Amino acid sequence: MAQPPGRLASRAPAAGRWKNLLYSQRLAPYFFIAPFVITLLAFWAVPLVRTFVMSTQNVMFGEAAFVGTDNFERLWRDRIFWQAMYNSARYMVLTLVILIPVPLLLAVVINARLGSPRLKNLFKASMFVPALTSVVVAGIIFRLMFAETSTGLVNQVIAWFGADPVRWLRTDIGGLVALLALATWRYTGVNILYFLSGLQSIPDEYYEAASIDGAGKLRQFFSITLPNIKPTMVYVTTISIYGGLAMFLESFMLYSGNSSPNNQGLTVVGYLYRRGIEENDLGYASAVGVVLLVVIMAINLTYLTLTGTFKKEPR
Amino acid sequence: MSAPTTTTTSAPSAERATSGPGRRRYPLPRAMFVTIQSVFLAVIGLIVLVPLLVIFVGTFQDGGEIMRTGLRLGVDVSSLRLDNYVMLLTDSGLYFRWFANSVGLTVVQVAGTLLVSSFVAYGFAMYDFKGKTAAFIAVLLLMTVPFEIMMLPLYVMVNDLGLADSYGVIVIPFLAASVTIFFFRQYFTGIPRELLEAGRVDGVTEFGIFFKVVLPISRPALAAMGILNGMVTWNNFLWPLLVLRSAEKFTLPIGLNTLLTPYGNNYDLLIIGSFFSLLPVLVLFLCFQRFFVAGMTAGALKG
């Protein structure tokens, strides 16, 4: 795979060092990855280090004073922070509960050999459309569909079943339902695509063999489909975990800003935004960021290690 | 994975299967299964489109009234009017300015990201060098760090350097984008090395090979990633919200968001403007559906 370095460099017209640089297979890769390394350092490493440093400081009006673990101790006793953590965790768990089984079921239905391919393609296209919608526009639409008057769409629909109008965004559970509806609407189609690409990579022979051996459809699903789409599962679960924990904009748009009744829509990132950007308390907000980063990395690493993904990650 | 063992056991039975009568057993009669499946898919597929339908209907309604009574179905047809369309074309303030800003920003971001990210990916795909594994693990790790964590220090940095309100700050940090690099690297590893050797024999520089030999045959990958990045940029909200200050520089999502205030007096524009901001992406999607799907599932291609 690797060409002996510099072999062809000698073939280059000898027009000085500069020209040779362009032909050097030993140096070329470093030029190629340089933009990434610069990006990594300037826009990831430096800000991350800065977050860690600021989390040990009290930053006010540009003056930073070292306060050790003070911010974290305050955070530990901060009731609103824990509420935000609870809201984010609850949202993450519930999106996992909805956005894994539902898209998987739909993908299996589409993937069945029976049925009109044309209808299936139309269905896939239609499910994908929400993913094209920006959070801003989707948030505006859902906010107005979950209006609290009896004339709002969702209240109209539940009225068909005899239910009274609900003041959706004014109540904790109502707001959660609206958020989950928004998430389900936006991400089901994308997850269907992920699962479909996983399902289509399973050879037909596996099912034929199982069928001959007398395994029913349900048995085939659990013994063949599920184990074989494990990589897709790992991927979808991982992005859902950090997407769920880092959720902010959905809530921001649904409540039309970062404040909601009794902070019911406040997430960890929302709290970081409030303390850091709205109140300019950079030290404290950085501590929130550090906690979030640690939690997300811990969950990701645990999950990836448990499922054995790490062993085969680097080529 | 258990793949190898399953393959060996399945080979002989697969032969038997083709000779047998019914190859697959369904719990229901075929016709019934197909009917249930079709109805199921059609109903869900239509429900999913309802939010877009109601906002489309909303473009013919009074914006202030929508804010009070919500978006809904079953609107009185005689109350629908075209005033909003007239307003959009004649008196929509900065709306088309924002639209143009979004278009321009998206074009520049997509072109830049495709160029820079594929350039980086080529280095990872085609060479072996010291530090490659570490650098590539960094690419993979960056794919899992949510931007939300970086926003505060980046915001502080931008303010310290006095770079707020500039488009450069929005574009440059995301030129070397980890997901795009990852995708291109996957694509490039499938390109036969003989092509590169041929180029070298012809005396083309290493960079010339990338630009003149590899990029031109990578059109499908460029299309998929162009679409993905275009969609993300067009809808990008959080970072531009933090960076941009002056209304003339706003992008569409930022501008629309400013219309959604309790004291707003232009809810007509909010509704019709939101609807029209969807159209470019929808039209592109209808034309290039294949590339959208390839782009969106890019991250999951590798197990």
pLDDT at residue A136 greater than cutoff 60: yes
Length of chain B: 303
The total of other beta-carbon atoms located within 10 Å of residue B283's CB is 10
Residue A65 domain flag = no
> How far is A37 from A145, CA to CA, in rounded Å?
45
The Cα angle at residue A284 between residues A281 and A287, in degrees rounded to 5: 145
Cβ–Cβ gap B176/A144 under 8 Å: no
Strands (E), chain B: none
Q: Is A304 on the interface with B (CB under 8 A)?
A: no
* Nearest residue of chain A to residue B52 (CA atoms): A141
User: Which tens digit of pLDDT belongs to each residue from B94-123?
Assistant: 999 999 999 999 999 999 999 999 999 999
Nearest to A206 by CA among B30, B17, B20: B17
- Residue A267, token pair as written in the block: 């997430």
Residue B268 domain flag = yes
Q: Is A115 helix (H, G, I), strand (E, B) or coil?
A: coil
Show the domain range for B205: 97-300
Q: Is A184 on the interface with B (CB under 8 A)?
A: no
pLDDT of residue A63: 80
Nearest to B273 by CA among B102, B130, B134, B148: B102
List residues bridging with A64 in a β-sheet: A59
pLDDT of residue A176: 96
Cβ–Cβ gap B253/A136 under 8 Å: yes
Give percent helix, percent strand, percent coil of chain A, each to the nearest 5. 75, 5, 25
pLDDT of residue B2: 37
* Nearest residue of chain B to residue A147 (CA atoms): B70
Q: Please tell me the distance in Å from A65's CA to the nearest CA on chain B.
A: 16
Residue B19 domain flag = no
pLDDT of residue A10: 46
Residue A51 domain flag = no
* Greater pLDDT, B29 or A123: A123
Tell me the percentage of chain A whose pLDDT exceeds 70.
92
> How far is B94 from B89, CA to CA, in rounded Å?
11
Mean pLDDT (whole number) for A216-230? 89
pLDDT at residue B282 greater than cutoff 80: yes
* Greater pLDDT, B7 or A204: A204
Q: Please tell me the distance in Å from B90's CA to the nearest CA on chain A.
A: 23
pLDDT at residue B29 greater than cutoff 70: yes
Nearest to A75 by CA among A84, A66, A62: A84
pLDDT of residue B296: 74
Q: Is A100 on the interface with B (CB under 8 A)?
A: no
Q: Please tell me the distance in Å from A58's CA to the nearest CA on chain B.
A: 14
> How far is A240 from A243, CA to CA, in rounded Å?
5
Residues of A in contact with B20 (CB under 8 A): 212
Contact B251, B160 (CB under 8 A): no
- Residue A17, token pair as written in the block: 């060092």
pLDDT at residue A17 greater than cutoff 80: no
Mean pLDDT (whole number) for B281-285? 90
Tell me the percentage of chain B whose pLDDT exceeds 90.
59
CATH number at residue A98: 1.10.3720.10
Residue A58 domain flag = no
pLDDT of residue B266: 86
Please report, for residues A104, A177, A233, B302, the alpha-carbon distance to residue A101 in angstroms, rounded to integers and kept in the order given: 5, 18, 10, 21
pLDDT of residue A315: 40
Q: Please tell me the distance in Å from A158's CA to the nearest CA on chain B.
A: 13
Number of independent structural domains in chain B:
1
CATH number at residue B245: 1.10.3720.10
Q: Is B53 on the interface with A (CB under 8 A)?
A: no
Contact A149, A164 (CB under 8 A): no
> How far is B273 from A136, CA to CA, in rounded Å?
12
Show the domain range for A248: 75-312
- Residue A248, token pair as written in the block: 């902010």
> How far is A84 from A98, CA to CA, in rounded Å?
21
Instruction: Report the residue of A141, A217, A254, A309 to disrupt the B interface, i.e. the one with the largest count of B CBs within 10 Å.
Output: A141
Residue B57 domain flag = no
Cβ–Cβ gap B38/A116 under 8 Å: yes
Q: Is A59 helix (H, G, I), strand (E, B) or coil?
A: strand
Residue B55 domain flag = no
* Nearest residue of chain A to residue B243 (CA atoms): A277
Residue B143 domain flag = yes
Report chain A's terminal Cα–Cα distance, integer Å.
13
pLDDT of residue B31: 83
Residue B186 domain flag = yes
Inter-chain Cβ pairs, chain A and chain B, closer than 8 A: 341
pLDDT at residue B138 greater than cutoff 70: yes
User: Which tens digit of pLDDT belongs to each residue from A229-286?
Assistant: 988 888 888 888 888 999 999 999 999 888 889 999 999 999 999 999 999 999 999 9
Cβ–Cβ gap B70/A155 under 8 Å: yes
DSSP H or E run through A58: strand A57-60
Q: Which residues of A177-195 are buried (b: 16+ CB within 10 A; e: fewer)?
A: bbbbbbbbbbbbbbbbbbb
- Residue B126, token pair as written in the block: 């085609």
Range in A150-154, A261-265, A300-304, B250-254 the model is least confident about: A300-304
Number of independent structural domains in chain A:
1
**Alpha-helical runs (H) found in B20-146:** 30-58, 63-69, 83-90, 95-126, 132-142
